[in-house]
Structure 1
Amino acid sequence: MIGVMPPGFQFPGDTGTILNIYTAPPAQLWVPLALTPGAWRQRSAHYLQVIARLRRGVTLGQAQAEMNSIEQQLVREYPRD
């Protein structure tokens, strides 16, 4: 287990609707991502999101700078995606 969210927590964007079209109820349980090897290699699929809690003493700006650095590394490694 990675963590437990407090009662009432709602994953950003997890409202059960997209553009006012019902999709599914908000998740009650998140499980590890299970993809086929082919799906893992599909670099053009941009549907994953990141959620994190900042470590004590780390500013939002520092975290954003680190995420930007990771993004740039991925752009260099996979320029066509």
Structure 2
Amino acid sequence: MSQTVELRVGMSCEGCVGAVKRVLGKMEGVESFDVDIKEQKVTVKGNVTPDAVLQTVSKTGKKTSFWEAEPSAASAVSS
């Protein structure tokens, strides 16, 4: 089943972006991915599990965590 996984990844240069692209390009089940250095965000689409994507990107040595909505955005939606 195809799904979208969003991660926050600490990338500071094009070399960082290249490392993330390399590991995602080799990952089984990945259909597409987008790496946004400005937002420090990686979006992966495909037949993947969130934990597998997190572990794969973590292998680059970059600080990696699941992307979560900003608290202010979440509270604005609920009010």
Is the shorter-chain TM-score for this pair beyond 0.5, marking a shared fold? no
Q: Over alpha carbons, which structure has the higher Rg?
A: 1
- Normalised by the length of structure 1, the TM-score is 0.24
Higher share of residues assigned helix: 2
Tell which has more relative contact order, 1 or 2 (C-alpha 8 A, sep 6+): 2
